[in-house]
Amino acid sequence: MCGIVGYIGPQHATDIVIGGLRKLEYRGYDSAGVALLGVDRLLTERATGKLVNLERKLHSVEWDDADARGYSIGMGHTRWATHGGVTEANAHPHVSMNGRVAVVHNGIVENAIDLRHELLATGAVFTSETDTEVIVHLVAGYMTAGMLFERAAHATFARLRGSQAIVLLSLDEPDKIIACRIGNAGGVVVGIGAGEMFLASDIPGILEHTRRIAFLENQEVAVIQRSGFRVRTINGGEVSKTVTNIPYDMVSAEKGEYRHFMQKEIFEQARAITDTIRGRVDFATGRVMLDALNPLNGGLLPSKIFTAACGTSLYSAMVGKFLIEGIARIPVEVEHGSELRYRDPLIQSTHAVLGITQSGETADTLAAMAEGREKGARIWSIVNNIGSQAQRVSDGTIAMRAGPEIGVCSTKTFLASIVDQYLLACALAQARDGHSGASFALAQQLSHLPSLMSQVLDKNSIYAELASEFHDREHFLFLGRGINYPIALEGALKLKEVSYIHAEGYPAGEMKHGPIALIDERMPVVCICIKDAVYEKMLSQVEQVKARGGKVIAVATEGDTEIAKRADRVMYVPVTHPLLSPVITAIPMQRLAYEMAVRRGCDVDQPRNLAKSVTVE
C-alpha cells in the first residue's frame, strides 16, 4: 500500500524522505514521487516503477547551492494504484493549478466523482485520473477565496468521505506540513526530533531518526513545524497527544547474509518462536502467562470467539480454531476480515472478537474488529507491529514478537501467530480449569518446538532439487486434512504469491469431488502426510493421485519408509505433537515456494501487485 514520509528541519529533506520511502518499500508500490519546498519554489518529481527511477530523476535536477540548502521541507510517497493506472501523471504528489499547494495521499476519497464534477464546473483542470487530485484543487480553491492554509486544509478534510491519510505542503506557508488521518485506511505517525520533525505512514519510515512517536487518530489534523507539532480535530477541537517511545532493533531489519528477506525470515523462524514463547510459559509447571491479554473479563471466559483475519493470517486463524476448540473447548468461528461485517454476524457481548494481523493495519480486519466492538464483544488482537491500529483498538493483545518482517509475503509472522493462539488456548483453559487439566502438559510441549523447527531448517538440498524439477509447471495442487488443511491453503498461497504459479489448496477428502479432474502427469500434488490421526486417509489420497499419473510431493514424518515407496519426492519433518504439527509442516511449504520463485527469477521480496500492509478495503 502507499507509503508516506515527510520532513521539516535543518537537513536537506530529499535524503531523509527517499531514505524513509526505502524503509517502506516492503509495503509494495508501483510508482513514487517527492515534493520539496525551497525558497519560493515548490519542486516535484515523480516516476513509475522502483524508487531508483525517482532517484535518477532527482540526480538530474540542477540544484544550486541556495536551493540545496533551502529544500529542508519535503514529503514523499510510494503509490499502489487504486484509482487510475500506473503512470507518472497518476503518481503523487499532485500539485494545484497555481503550483502553490501539493498533496500526497493514502486511501480512497469515496466521493471523488462528485467533488470532481463540482471542481470542473468551477474551472479546475485535472491532470490525473486519481481521486487524490480533488484534494489539492479544493485546498487551493479555498486559499484563493481568502482562507489561510490551515483553514483551507480543515475545510477540505471536512468534505472528504472514505478512509485516508493526507499530507499537504504550501508555498504560501513554507514553514509547516499539514497531515490528517480520516478513518483507518492510512496511518499517520509524527516523529519528534531535536529542532526537526518527521512524519510517516508507518513507523519504520522514520525510526532511523527518532523513536519518539505520536499517532494521529481518526479525524485528527497535525500541523508540524521545526519546533514541534500541534493537533486538532477536523472540526477544530484541541487534542493533546501522548508521545510513545518505540523499541526497535534496526539490525534485524537488514538482510545480513541472506539473498532475500523472505529467505532470512524463513530461517529466523526458530528464533522468532523462541522469542514468542519466552517468559510466557513456566516450563516447570506448564502455566501460561499472557500479561497483555487477560482472558478473564469480570471472571468470565468468552462463550465464543470470532476470529477475523485476511490472507495468511486467515489460515493461521483456521489452525487456531483447532487449537482453541481442542484445548480450551470454546467454540471458534473463523471469518474473512473482508466478509464479517457484511452478514450481520451473531456477535454478542459475551463473545470475543480476535483480530489476527501481522501489520495491525489491514483495513478489512480492523473493520471486522470495529463490528465486534459495536456489538459489545471484547476485542483481542494478535499483532506483530507494536503500536499499530489493531493493537490500539484492542482490549488485549498478544504480540507476535517475530521482529520486523520485510518480505511482502508473510512467513515468520504466520508461525508466530499460530504459536500465540496455542498460548491463548492454553491460557483460556487454565483460566477456566485452575491448576489441573491437559493444557499444562500441552504448554510444556512448546519447549521442544524451536529445536524441531531447526531440524526442518537445517535440511537443504531437497527444495532446490524440487524447484529444478518442477519450476516449469503451470499448476500445483496442495492437499491436507484436519489441522494441516490450512497449511495446504498456505502452501498454495505462498507458491502463487512469489512464483506466480497457479496453485490450489484443498481438504484432501474433497479432491474426489472435483479437483481430481485436473490431475495428469503434468500436475504436481503436494500432500501433507505426516503420521497423525488422518495418516491412513492421506495415504489413500496419494494412491488416487498416483493412479491418475500425478506427481506426488509428500511432507512426511522422519523414518516413514512406506510413503517413500508411494510418493515421487518426500520432504521429511520430525515427529511433533499433532497440535503443533502445522508449525513444522508449514516450513517445507515456505521453502518450496521460495526456491521455486528464485528459480523462476521472480521478485521474491516484492511480488507484483502485492502490498505488505493492505490499508484499503
Residues near ligand F6R (CB under 6 A): 310-313, 357-359, 362, 365, 409-410, 493, 497, 613-614
Which is nearer to ligand F6R, 132 or 410 (by Cβ)? 410
CA–CA distances in Å: residue 194 to residues 205, 228, 340 = 18, 9, 45
Which is nearer to ligand F6R, 37 or 310 (by Cβ)? 310
In sequence order, the 6+-apart residues with CB closer than 8 A to the CB of 257 are none
Which is nearer to ligand F6R, 276 or 365 (by Cβ)? 365
Q: What is the closest distance, in whole angstroms, from the C-beta atom of residue 7 to ligand F6R in the complex?
A: 27
Residue found by looking up cell 452478514 in the block = 343
Which is nearer to ligand F6R, 273 or 586 (by Cβ)? 586
Which is nearer to ligand F6R, 411 or 430 (by Cβ)? 411
219 DSSP assignment:
T
Q: What is the closest distance, in whole angstroms, from the C-beta atom of residue 382 to ligand F6R in the complex?
A: 9
Q: Which residue is nearest to ligand F6R (CB)?
A: 311
Q: What is the closest distance, in whole angstroms, from the C-beta atom of residue 470 to ligand F6R in the complex?
A: 20
Q: What is the closest distance, in whole angstroms, from the C-beta atom of residue 357 to ligand F6R in the complex?
A: 3
In sequence order, the 6+-apart residues with CB closer than 8 A to the CB of 457 are 266, 267, 269, 270, 587
Closest CA to 99 of 19, 177, 41: 41
CA–CA distances in Å: residue 497 to residues 6, 153, 242, 332, 501 = 31, 40, 39, 28, 8
Distance in angstroms (rounded) separating the CA atoms of residues 281 and 256: 31
Q: What is the closest distance, in whole angstroms, from the C-beta atom of residue 394 to ligand F6R in the complex?
A: 14
Which is nearer to ligand F6R, 106 or 313 (by Cβ)? 313
Q: What is the closest distance, in whole angstroms, from the C-beta atom of residue 399 to ligand F6R in the complex?
A: 14
Distance in angstroms (rounded) separating the CA atoms of residues 147 and 198: 26
**Dihedral sign computed on CA atoms, order 370, 211, 13, 98:** positive
Run of H or E including 383: strand 378-383
DSSP count for the chain of H helices, then E strands = 19, 27
Angle, CA 216 vertex, CA 215 and CA 218 arms, to 5°: 135
Q: What is the closest distance, in whole angstroms, from the C-beta atom of residue 360 to ligand F6R in the complex?
A: 7
Instruction: Please provide residue 604's backbone torsions phi and psi, each rounded to the nearest 5 degrees.
Output: -60, -45
Give all strands (DSSP E) within 538-610, no chain letters.
551-557, 569-573
Catalytic: which of 23, 176, 321, 612?
Answer: 612
In sequence order, the 6+-apart residues with CB closer than 8 A to the CB of 340 are 306, 308, 367, 368, 371
Which is nearer to ligand F6R, 48 or 411 (by Cβ)? 411
23 is catalytic: no
Distance in angstroms (rounded) separating the CA atoms of residues 290 and 278: 11
Which is nearer to ligand F6R, 210 or 365 (by Cβ)? 365
388 DSSP assignment:
-
Distance in angstroms (rounded) separating the CA atoms of residues 156 and 141: 10
Query: Which set of grid coordinates corresponds to residue 385?
Result: 507491529
Distance in angstroms (rounded) separating the CA atoms of residues 502 and 166: 37
Q: What is the closest distance, in whole angstroms, from the C-beta atom of residue 495 to ligand F6R in the complex?
A: 11
Catalytic: which of 2, 180, 426, 527?
Answer: 2
Distance in angstroms (rounded) separating the CA atoms of residues 499 and 492: 11
Residue found by looking up cell 519518539 in the block = 212
Q: What is the closest distance, in whole angstroms, from the C-beta atom of residue 423 to ligand F6R in the complex?
A: 18
Which is nearer to ligand F6R, 171 or 409 (by Cβ)? 409
Question: 402 and 418 in contact (C-beta within 8 Å)?
Answer: no
- For the annotated catalytic residues, the residue numbers are 2, 612
